[in-house]
Structure formats: C-alpha cells, structure tokens
Chain A
C-alpha cells in the first residue's frame, strides 16, 4: 500500500499551485464570473503550453500519457484556485468521451487539437428534467440522408456558448429499456439551428440552455455506436464524478486553510478567536471532513486510473464529498463572521462552488442509492 503521491505528482502540484496563484488570482476569478465568455484566451494558452489539456491523453494523440491520478492532482489545484473556464468540459467531459468512444480518425483529429488548446468543447447531456439517468435523454436525432437532424433542448450545458464543438447525447430509438437507443454526436458549435442562452448561476460558471432546431450533423460525426451510447455516458460519468470530487477536495482544503489562518489572526475579547473551544471544534470537524474527502476520493480515482471497477467507490466519494464540502464551507463562513459574508471576500467563491457541485453528476442521495444497490439492497 502506498497512500502517498510520487515526487512527480508533488512537483505537478507545486507547479500548478504556483502557476495558478500567479496567473489565476481571485480577482480574475471574480472578474470572469461577470464576464460573458468566462475565460481569458491568454490563460487558456498558457495552460496548454504547460501541457495540462493533454495531460492524461496518450502520447499518440498529442497527450503527455500521464494517469488519471495525475489529472486528479491537477484538478485539486484547479478547485483550490476556483479556476474559471472550459477546462473541465473540454478535457474531462469531452476529451474522455472522444478517447473512449471515438474511432481512430476522430481521435487523431480532435485529441491533439484539444491537447494544444486549439479547441473548446461542451457536453450536452442533461435536459430540463435535470437528471442523469438514461430515461432523461429525450432530445431526438433523426436520420436524413447522410446526416442526422437533432431537435430538442439541453440544459445546464457548461460552456456551450463558446464551444467549437458540442458533444450531444441524443435519443435515436425508443428501445425496450431506456438505456437502449441513445446515440452520441459531435456537433459543430457553429451549425445552423443551435441557439445558446447563458443561465445565471450562483457560481458564475457558464451553464447554458442549448436549443437544437433541426441541427444537421453528418453521420461520420457519430461517437461510438448507434443506439449504444449509454454505456459510454455511464463510463464517462464515473470518471467525471471522480474528477469533480478531486476538484471539490481542492476547494474544501482551501476553505479550511483560509479559515484556520483567520482563526489564528482575528482577535476578539483580547485573544485570537482560534483559542476559543467552539472555533477549535469547528476546525477539528472541518479537517476531519477534508481528510475523509481526500482519501475516499483518491481511492476512487486510483481505481478509475487503474481501470478497476469503481462504481461503488466513486459513488461513495461523491455522496461523502458533496456534503462534506458544504459542511466545510458553512463552518468556514461561521468562523469568518461578517467579513466572509461580503461579495469581495474569497469565502463565498467556495461556498457557491460547493453548492453548485452538490447536485452535479448526482447529489448525495442519488449516489447513496447506487451504494444501496451495490450493497445488495
């Protein structure tokens, strides 16, 4: 057993932390929450130069051939920095879908461009039903000549408004089970018939409503097999959930660090508030939550990274981290008092991200039901 990171992983963490502290200060994070695009091409370019976009892609597709655990380290630091922009949707949600389901030609065309930072992608999975089960996929794709025509509404699609390509999960057949008849398409973001509207969200991330109105997609842009897309989505959700947990862990650690630092320096009644038992106990609860979150996430990420069955571990991680991150940021706010309640402060960045991440890819209850099934209930 080895519960430590390798020297290279520690180096990656340090490099990422230093880079993001310099290039992605909280002032930029707040600015991007107001900005319509939600990212700066300069920062995007610099991240690409560091090789981050292709970090976990095989070298043959222009990547660095590193592992999912390595990516988790990077995501943790991005969570700490509250990095805005399309990294998660481009690399994790779409990059991995292409890697998993794409044919050789698609992989050779798209992955190197993603790795180079030349493409921004968005995954159009959820619909107004806001669920992550196969029955929720209702948007239709109908064959017509050499193309398919996609019509319907996708909701909570991050970065669709800036995406060069949108990966759209569609229904091509009403099968015997909801899993059957789901097909994935890689849609040019500039296609006629796509309209995107930015949603106003608490975390200032750029989620969109995307309406597809008879959007024409060539058959060759199908990712994976006709009607068999749900297996790909399931696998992707497992990875994406583990990846999101890593990002959340980074945010929780940052909120904890800030709160401890504040408890040491803030003086009331002539002594640092961190000397009061109530505050000490809050901190003790927070660090227990953060430590618990880390190792249950690492366990899940390690299983994903090694291609082992990870359904149970990933769901355990998301069920726990969803609520732990919320608890940590709530107590962090309590420790900070009024100053933390201010828009200008950094604490709200974490609280809002915790609340936004809670339902993403299934909330704690959803994942507990997965666990219940795995327990044989």
Chain B
C-alpha cells in the first residue's frame, strides 16, 4: 500500500494548481456571479482545452490526452478545490463524448468530438421528463420515422444549460409497444433546430441553470441516432465509463472548511473567538474527518478504475457520501454563523460572500441530480451488494 502520488503526478498537480490560482481568482468568480453564470464559462473551458486538460483522459486517437485515471483524479480534485466552473464542458467531456466514442459512427465521431475537446461546443442532456425522473425508462418523448429523418415531439425538464447549449443528447421512444427499456433510442439534436422551445426554470438559489425544453416535430436526421434503434437505454449506460470518483465534492468541501476555520478564528462572540467554543470545534473537526473519509472513498474509486476494476460499490458510495457531506458541512457553516448565515451574496454583512447559504441551498439539488440518493442506494444495494430486486 502506498498513499503517495508519483513524483510526476505531484508535479502535474502543482502545474494545475498554479494555473487555477492565476485563473480562478475572486474577481473572476464574482464576475461569473454577476452574470448569473456561477458554474458556466466558455472562456475558462477554452483555456482548459488549450492546456490540453479538458479531455485529458480520452484516448489520443479521439483528440484526448491519453492521461491516466490518477492524473484525471488529480485534475478533478484541484478543479473542485478551486470551485472552478465546469458547466460549459461537463456534459460533453463526461457523458456525450465517451458515448460517441463507444457507440457513435465514424461520421459522428468526426463531426462532434473535436468541438468537445476544443471546448467550443456546449452540450445539454435531454433525459428527464415531467413523468420520468428516477423512473427514467418510462419516458414518453416520441420519435417517429419520416423519410430520412425522425420527428421528435415531447417535453424534457431539468435540462441544465439548455439555454446555452449548442447540442443536446436526448432519449426518445421509438417503439411504444416494446417493454419500456427496449423502445428507447439515443439522438443528437442541434439546439437550433426548428420546433425547439426552451423555457427557463429558476431554481431556489434564484439562478437560471435548468430549463424546460419543448420539442414539437423537431426534425432530426437518421444519421444522428447513436447506436441502433431501440438500443438507446443500453447506449446511455456507457456514460458510466468516465472518471467516477466525485472527488470534486470532498475537495470543494475542503476549501469551504478552510474558509470556515478562518472565519471562526477571526469572529468573536461574547468577546471570545468562535474557535474557542467547544461545540464549534467539535463540529468543524467532525467535518474535517468526514472530508478525509470522503477523499479516501473517492481516491479508491479512481484507483480501482485505474487498475481496470469496476467500482460497483465505491462509486455510488462516493456520490452519496459527498452530496450528503456537502449538505452537512454547509448546514453547519450556516449554524455557526448564526443570524449572519442567512445573508446572501451582495450584502456587506454576509460572511464569506454569502457563499455558505448559497452552497447549502445548492446541496439540496446535488442530492437529487444525476440519480437521487435513494436511487443511488438502490443501485448500490442491487448491483454492488447483490441484493434481490423488488
């Protein structure tokens, strides 16, 4: 056993860290917040692409850097620590790119992969529908053949970045008679296509991240189907192949904890620094312990993938742990701040720029997005531990 990274890995970490320190400054993050785009920056994504880091772990033949899982882990850890914006490339790099590499035609690869690795094309994901959330396979959006095209009609919801995206990868039903998992196909849809209407959904943080997307006879050429007809459910599963450690959660939490430690050292209550209060000390120490436990769980996921093993238990465990840790940490942060904890960004009285309350509210969404934590627990129990299905 060896918990050290290799020397060249440490050097790489230093390089990434130096870059992020220069780029992800307070002013830069404030600028994003002013634009209402906290987690979205095409410019930043392009800079990562120029450094060759965006698709670092993709195979070289597809424009990737051929990096190891451990290098990807380090990169993601630092990105998380600096709380840098990834919204402009996350879908393309983690989900759609690997899916096209695994199941796409040569033409699809030629046409789409470069835009993703160059950080020029933004993708959104058209999976969830009003009546297909955790039970995704019951989706109703229809795709009907007409000549060389499909006509897609239906509604998608919670579509992050639909209002910013150039393309959408989308699941639609191509055989309504088949059992629900076997009648779905996977499409690549140009967001400029006629018949697409995007309506904003403002989240509880008052941010415009996700949307409703209405499709009304949207014409999609047949060559935009990924994989075979009615194989869309199977195709969509490949998205599990990317780096799955979710290291960004504990590393972002680490940064937040560091901010809280400084805050309690500097802030006095009843003439005493908060850092002297045993309850405050206990709570922050508890968080430090949990962050370390989470970091180890996440490292193990990446290490298993590095070794070609499939982290059937560790990967969902890491998402579960990280999202719930973020809730606890930011909740505790707000508690420690007392009345000040409720102050939002922009108030001169708000500690840590009001980030704690904002992150706490966002944490509710993270326990739901990409598979609710209940679904993660089911997956863990059934696929990871072999418990019987209902």
Contacts and interface: CB of A to CB of B under 8 A. Distances in A.
A337 interface: no
B387 A371 contact: no
Residue among B6, B384, B387 with max Cβ neighbours from chain A (10 Å) = B387
A291 B285 contact: no
B288 A371 contact: yes
Interface in B369-387: 374, 376-378, 380-382, 384-387
A1 B264 contact: no
A368 interface: yes
Q: Is the interface of A mostly helix, strand, loop or mixed?
A: helix
A298 B1 contact: yes
Contacts of A1: 2-6, 9, 70, 299, 303
A202 interface: no
B206 interface: no
A207 B388 CA distance: 43
Interface string A118-131: 00000000000000
Interface in A174-227: none
Residue among A319, A367, A369 with max Cβ neighbours from chain B (10 Å) = A319
Contacts of B289: 296, 316, 319-320, 367-368, 371
Interface stretch (A57-65, A105-113, A268-276): A268-276
A292 B387 contact: no
Contacts of A316: 288-289, 292-293
A265 B297 CA distance: 29
Interface string A358-371: 00000001011111
B321 interface: yes
A60 to B, nearest CB: 25
Interface in B259-296: 261, 264-265, 275, 278, 280-282, 284-286, 288-290, 292-294, 296
A281 to B, nearest CB: 4
* Interface range, B side: 35 or more
B118 interface: no
Interface stretch (B87-95, B166-174, B312-320): B312-320
Contact of A284 (B286, B299, B380): B380
B307 A320 contact: no
Contacts of B307: 4
Contacts of B382: 280
Contacts of B6: 1
B390 A291 contact: no
Contacts of A285: 377
A14 interface: no
Contacts of A320: 289-290, 292-293
Q: Is the interface of B mostly helix, strand, loop or mixed?
A: helix
A291 B1 contact: no
Interface in A296-312: 296, 298-299, 302-303
A183 to B, nearest CB: 32
A286 to B, nearest CB: 9
A302 B261 contact: no
Contacts of B3: 1, 3, 298-299, 302-303
Contacts of A271: 388, 390
Interface string B64-91: 0000001000000000000000000000
Residue among A5, A287, A320 with max Cβ neighbours from chain B (10 Å) = A287
Interface in A90-117: none
B390 A284 contact: no
Contacts of A370: 285
A363 to B, nearest CB: 12
B300 interface: yes
A264 B293 contact: no
B389 interface: yes
B387 A3 contact: no
A377 B281 contact: yes
A69 B1 contact: yes
Contacts of A292: 293-294, 296-297, 317, 321
Across the A-B interface, give the 9 residue pairs with the lowest CB-CB distance, nearest first: A280-B381, A295-B296, A368-B285, A284-B377, A274-B387, A371-B285, A372-B281, A372-B285, A292-B293
Given A271-B390, A280-B387, 4 more contacts: A264-B386, A284-B317, A287-B380, A377-B284
Interface of B: 1-6, 9, 70, 261, 264-265, 275, 278, 280-282, 284-286, 288-290, 292-294, 296-297, 299-300, 303-304, 307, 313-314, 316-317, 320-321, 374, 376-378, 380-382, 384-390
10 contacts: A3-B304, A271-B388, A279-B387, A284-B317, A284-B380, A292-B296, A295-B296, A369-B278, A375-B285, A375-B288
Interface of A: 1-6, 69, 260, 263-264, 271-272, 274-277, 279-281, 283-285, 287-288, 291-293, 295-296, 298-299, 302-303, 313, 316, 319-320, 365, 367-372, 375-377
